[in-house]
Amino acid sequence: MGCKQPKGGRAISLVTKERSALPDRDSESDPSDKKGSGRIQFFYHNPKSDIPIRDVCNEQGFGHKTEPHLEINAENYLSSCRQTNIKAHLGKEEEKYLFLVTTCKNRHLEKHFGSQYIVGFIRKGEVLTILGEDGNERKAIRGETVLVSFADAIPYSEVLSDRFTPVRLVDEETTRVLVTRLRGAKNIVDDCVREINRYDDENPKNKKSCLILRGDRCQFRDSCRRWNV
């Protein structure tokens, strides 16, 4: 469903980086909290987890998911997932936020099971150009990342539409509301990374969602949450 998983071996052979035109959040000239729109990016939830992490162990049968790569505040880092959506997002200067959406698949969370939630965002900050093992180039983004629990997440139907679509533009006013609400909740990104790491232990080496655990090298090792939380 839009995501291409690496076949094994090196997932990345080259990464180049560039800053987006968006200033850092702490900059006094940063207008993003007052102006700017966004875009939806869907990911598969791990049904074993009660927090919104990606399906690391392929419980849903769509592959061992690597995105969003919360470990380094990125999307589309190890795998190409809805690449046209990412490129469109990067091509729109007015779009500041990539909103992360998932369907809760944990049956024990009866209140949330089967519903779609906006669980966080990645604020456009750094653009990565990645040459994959297949020789194809893709784009990834890194930036401020916020992820919240299902209890604090925003029901998709509450603010967007009763009809769910995995790719959708979010207007400026709705973006402002979503960012304000998500930033006002507890950010559980570190908890999510610990959970991802725990489930990744169940995967064989070639299915790990971490370059280092696959026996490779990663230029983000020193800043990666997986190794620093």
In a domain, 5, yes or no: no
Round to whole Å and give the CA distance between 2 and 62.
10
Report mean pLDDT in 10-residue bins for the chain, 229 residues. Answer: 52 64 46 76 98 98 97 95 94 96 98 98 95 85 97 96 90 97 98 98 96 92 92
Write down the H helix ranges in 47-130.
83-90
| pLDDT at 26 (0 to 100) | 43
Round to whole Å and give the CA distance between 19 and 40.
21
| pLDDT at 203 (0 to 100) | 97
Round to whole Å and give the CA distance between 100 and 145.
10
In a domain, 160, yes or no: yes
Round to whole Å and give the CA distance between 114 and 131.
36
| pLDDT at 32 (0 to 100) | 46
Contact in structure between 126 and 220 (CB atoms under 8 Å): no
Residue 65's nearest CA partner among 211, 205, 207, 229 is 207
In a domain, 199, yes or no: yes
Round to whole Å and give the CA distance between 219 and 151.
35
In a domain, 51, yes or no: yes
Element (H or E) spanning 139, and its range? strand 137-142
| pLDDT at 5 (0 to 100) | 55
| pLDDT at 10 (0 to 100) | 47
What do you get for the CA distance between the two ends of the chain, in Å?
31
In a domain, 226, yes or no: no
In a domain, 229, yes or no: no
Q: How far is CA 198 from CA 145, 183, 202, in A?
A: 21, 26, 8
Print the domain residue range for 41: 10-21+31-217
In a domain, 174, yes or no: yes
- Which residues, in sequence order, are CB contacts of 63 under 8 Å at separation 6+? 3, 5, 55
- Is residue 212 helix, strand or coil? coil
| pLDDT at 154 (0 to 100) | 98
In a domain, 2, yes or no: no
Round to whole Å and give the CA distance between 5 and 119.
23
- Which residues, in sequence order, are CB contacts of 125 under 8 Å at separation 6+? 19, 20, 22, 24, 73, 141, 142, 143, 144
Number of separate domains in the chain: 1
| pLDDT at 112 (0 to 100) | 98
